[in-house]
Structure 1
C-alpha cells in the first residue's frame, strides 16, 4: 500500500471514529467489572473496585484505570450515568438461588439518564451463579420468567430499545462464561439488532480485570463499535 492510500485510509478511519464518538453521552449498565467507589449512580450500589479499607488481589486502584473511564476519557466522551452494581445478575436469580430483584439489571434498566450510547456489560454473575437459563421469550414476560436468564435478557434489550430509542446500544460479553450465557447473548442481540462485542484474552486477577485487562476491554469495545459502524456503512 502506497503512502497516498495509507493517508486516505487514515482519513476514512478518523471520519468513522468522529461519527461514533464526538460529543456523545455514555451510560453504563453493569456489574462489578464496571464499578468504582464514588463513581456509580445511585451511590448505594455495591462496588468491587476502589472501596476504602478493602484490599483485593487486583492492581486496579484508580478510577482512571477502569475500562469505562479509559474508554470515555480517551475519546472525549461524557459520562451520563454509571449504574453498575457489584455481584448483580441480569435476571432476578442470584447466588445460591437468592432473589436479586433488588439489584438485577432488569430492575436498574430504567435509571440510565439521557444517553446517546448505552454499554451493557453483564451476564458474568448469571454464569458464575448458575442462574436458570430458561427459554427465549420476546414478549409477554411473567414475573416468574424474569428469574431466568434468557427471558430476562430479552426483556432487558426490549426495554432499552423502546425506552431509549435515540441511543445506540452495545452489549459486551465477558470471556470465560458458560456456553449457555455466551450463546444466548449472541442470539438475543441478533434478534434486537444490537451489536454484541465479544471480548477475548482479558487479563484478570481475582476473577476481575487487572489494569492490563481494563485497557484491553476499552480497546476492544472501541474497536467493536468502529467495526460495526464500518459494516453498517457498506
Structure 2
C-alpha cells in the first residue's frame, strides 16, 4: 500500500501598490489600510522624507514590505528615472517585473477667487493634478500587471462648488474624464480605473484649513448629511475596498466619499 504524498500549500504572493503622496494625509491612511489587508507598498513623497520613513516603519510593523521613493509629481522630466527606481525595487525586494495597483493621490491646492488666479497658480494645478497624473500613469502602465487597478483621486468639488477652488476643481474634472478613458483603453489588459472623490477632509491640505480652523470645520460639516467633515480614515478604507479582489467589476466609475455633502 503506497503512502500518499503530502501536499504543501503556497500562500499567494502579496499585491504591490504604488501610492503617490503616501507620507501623510489620505495617502498615509490608504497605505495603512492596504497593509492591514496584506498588501505591500511603495509610497512616494516630494518633501518631508522623515514622514515617509515613519510611514514605512508603520507599514513594516504591520508585517508588510514597504519602501519610499522621492517623486515630484509636477515634474514630468523625472518620471522615467522614477520608473527605473521602481523596477529596481520590484526586482530586488519582490523578484518581480511588475506591480498591481496605482493610486494617484499626491496633490496641493491653490485657493483664490477665479478673478485672482494667476497663470503661475493655474499652471501649478495643471502640472500636479492633470499633466502629472496623465504622464506618470502613462510611464508606469508598462510596469502595471495585467488585471491591475488604477485609482485616481478627485474631489467632491467637481460636483458642487465652493468659491476659491475653481482651478483645483477644474483639474480634477479633467482627471475624472481621463479615468474613463483609462478604463476603456486599458480594459483589454484587464486593468480597471476608478475615481475616488472625497469631500472636505481634515488633513494638512490647503495648510490644514479644514483640520485646524473650527469655523471652517463646523461650516463645512454642517453641509454634510452626517454632520461632520471627513477624516483620513474615512477615505483610506474606500480606496482599499476598491482594490479588494471582490470589487473588480467596478470600472470607469466615480465614487464620491463626502458623507453626503450638499445633497
Q: TM-score, normalised on structure 2?
A: 0.46
Q: CA–CA distance in 1 between the matches of 2:240 and 2:45?
A: 20
Aligned pair partner of 1:78 in 36, 40, 63:
40
> Could you tell me which residue of structure 2 aligns to residue 229 of structure 1?
248
Q: CA–CA distance in 2 between the matches of 1:71 and 1:160?
A: 23
**Which ranges of structure 1 fall in alignment gaps of 5 or more residues?**
1-21, 36-48, 50-59, 93-99, 135-146
> Could you tell me which residue of structure 2 aligns to residue 196 of structure 1?
194
Structural RMSD (CA): 3.8
> Could you tell me which residue of structure 2 aligns to residue 164 of structure 1?
144
Contact 1:150 1:184 in 2 (8 A): yes
Q: Write the mapping of 1:23-42 to structure 2, written as runs, cut at 5 A.
A: 23-31=13-21, 34-35=22-23
SS of 1:66 mapped into structure 2: helix
Deviation at 1:109, TM superposition (A): 4.3
Q: Tell whether 2:129 aligns with 1:131.
A: no
Q: How many residue pairs align between the two structures? A: 158
> Could you tell me which residue of structure 2 aligns to residue 185 of structure 1?
175
Q: CA–CA distance in 2 between the matches of 1:153 and 1:180?
A: 14
Contact 1:83 1:111 in 2 (8 A): no
For residues 85 and 71 of structure 1, do their structure 2 counterparts lie closer, same or farther at Cα, with a shift above 3 Å needed?
Answer: same
Deviation at 1:67, TM superposition (A): 0.8
For residues 149 and 160 of structure 1, do their structure 2 counterparts lie closer, same or farther at Cα, with a shift above 3 Å needed?
Answer: same
Contact 2:100 2:145 in 1 (8 A): no
Pair member with larger Rg:
2
> Which structure has more RCO (C-alpha within 8 Å, separation ≥ 6)?
1
Q: Tell whether 2:111 aligns with 1:111.
A: no
Contact 2:108 2:128 in 1 (8 A): no
Deviation at 1:187, TM superposition (A): 1.7
Deviation at 1:118, TM superposition (A): 2.4
Q: CA–CA distance in 2 between the matches of 1:149 and 1:106?
A: 18
